[in-house]
Amino acid sequence: MNQEKREDRKPTVEELLAKAKKPSLLAPPMHRFYEGKVQVMPKCAIRSAKDFAIWYTPGVATPCREIQANPDKSFELTNRWNYVAVVTDGTRVLGLGNIGPEAAMPVMEGKALLFKYLGGVDGFPICLRTRDPEEIIHACELIEPSFGGINLEDIEKPKCFYVLEETRKRLQIPVWHDDQQGTATVILAGLMNAFKLVGKKPKESLITLVGAGSANLRTAYVLIKWGMKTGNIILVDTKGVIHAGRKDITKEENPWKYELAQKTNEEGRTGDITQAFKGVDAVVAASKPGPDTIKKEWITTMADDGIVFACANPIPEIWPWEAEEAGARIIATGRSDFPNQVNNSLGFPAIFRGVLDVKAKTVTDDMCIAAAEELAKFAQERGIHEKDILPRMEEWEVFPREAVACALKSISQGVARVKPSRQELYEKASAIIKNARESTLLLMKNGWIKPPPPEEKLLK
């Protein structure tokens, strides 16, 4: 009984902070030990040196000529169909801000690692020494022939909105901004199941989005695309509630935020952040790390059976138990050590797996919604409750299903270059993802990926 009490007790703030800091302490020596996180490996058979006459000169000239005659054959005769460029200018890296392209490399490598292990996608970090949006867009245009898709990452706002829109217009491959679309996808999936559990209709409910950066602005657009009433969304930034009368929000500076200011908040609420909590059914925060960014007394003013997503990392805007004590029924955070982690990694690997498998020309918000619906459905089928509303990364079976949902949406929207059946898509996605996971395990088992030293030694 005493042991159970010890396990069930709430951790102290000091313990939580120590736990949150531990990965940061281990990361530098672990990165130094492995000298990076991803590498390039052959995927073709090499029986002897004679095979290089096929894979390289003189044999390679023939596929080159076929692609010259029809550039789309590059998706058949090379690995282009599975290559994704992870592109950043290093201006908004994981809350660190403008740290530059070299310092952004560990994050982009990490993204490539998640792409491969969770989605079987070959991601390549592309860190650009420019902050000019036109140069970023042009760089994407220049590298397009080598890639089947582009993942924009950690680009400051409002530039990130413009870069995403323009690259999607100009390129004939999927372009995605994970800080926008990835976050919005997983938040939507979580809200679907949270509202289901509390017995409310989300499209008729009031939702407040705390923070008006790339994540929540795109979440607003995706919620509207999904069918939620625009006027039932309330946005909050550092200056308070966003409304049509705000003179500091201009079309010239940030047309996306301006557009939402004109259309959301049908009640016309004004004032500070406290006004955005009163009577709302759900609050989604993607803002400043806490604790105390969101206060308990604000949550007490929400509607009954409130939903609170506090997504800041490493510390959520409010501790989950404080939100629960204040009356929230369902609480999610961005952390894996609390229930209901809202994690982009549930989205982008599988979404790209799907659009790559049909060699799609773009990726749309409708595909984000299809992915969110599949994530929510997967969790429902294996059972959901207040402390478990989303799939977890280790539930790898969700990724092929999500990929199929996105691939089928690509086909239905007429942007797929090929149109396999649902079964063919599922079998292909499952095989590719299993291959990536099992290859990694095999490399570890045989010592070709070395085991890391003990933590005690790394932390010396």
The set of catalytic residues is 56, 111
Is residue 58 within a helix (H) or strand (E), and if so which, with residue range? none
The CA distance from 71 to 93, in Å, is 35
Helices 159-170 and 214-226 cross at an angle (nearest 10°) of 50
Tokens read off for 332? 């999610």
DSSP-assigned beta bridge partners for residue 210: 236, 285
The amino acid present at 117, given as its one-letter code, is Y
Peptide bond before 158: cis, by omega within 30 degrees of 0? Answer: yes
DSSP 388-420: B-S--TT-TTHHHHHHHHHHHHHHHTT--S---
Q: In what order do the strands lie in the sheet with 83-88?
A: 122-127, 83-88, 149-152, 175-177
The CA distance from 196 to 282, in Å, is 13
Nearest 5°: phi and psi at 363? Answer: -130, 135
What b/e string do you get for 160-199 counting C-beta neighbours within 10 Å, with b at 16 or more? Answer: bbbbbebbbeebebbbbbbbbbbbbbbbbbbbbbbbbbbe
Tokens read off for 290? 């806490």
The CA distance from 14 to 375, in Å, is 34
Peptide bond before 291: cis, by omega within 30 degrees of 0? Answer: yes
Closest among 176, 166, 18 to 111, alpha carbons compared: 176
The CA distance from 60 to 53, in Å, is 8
The CA distance from 392 to 361, in Å, is 29
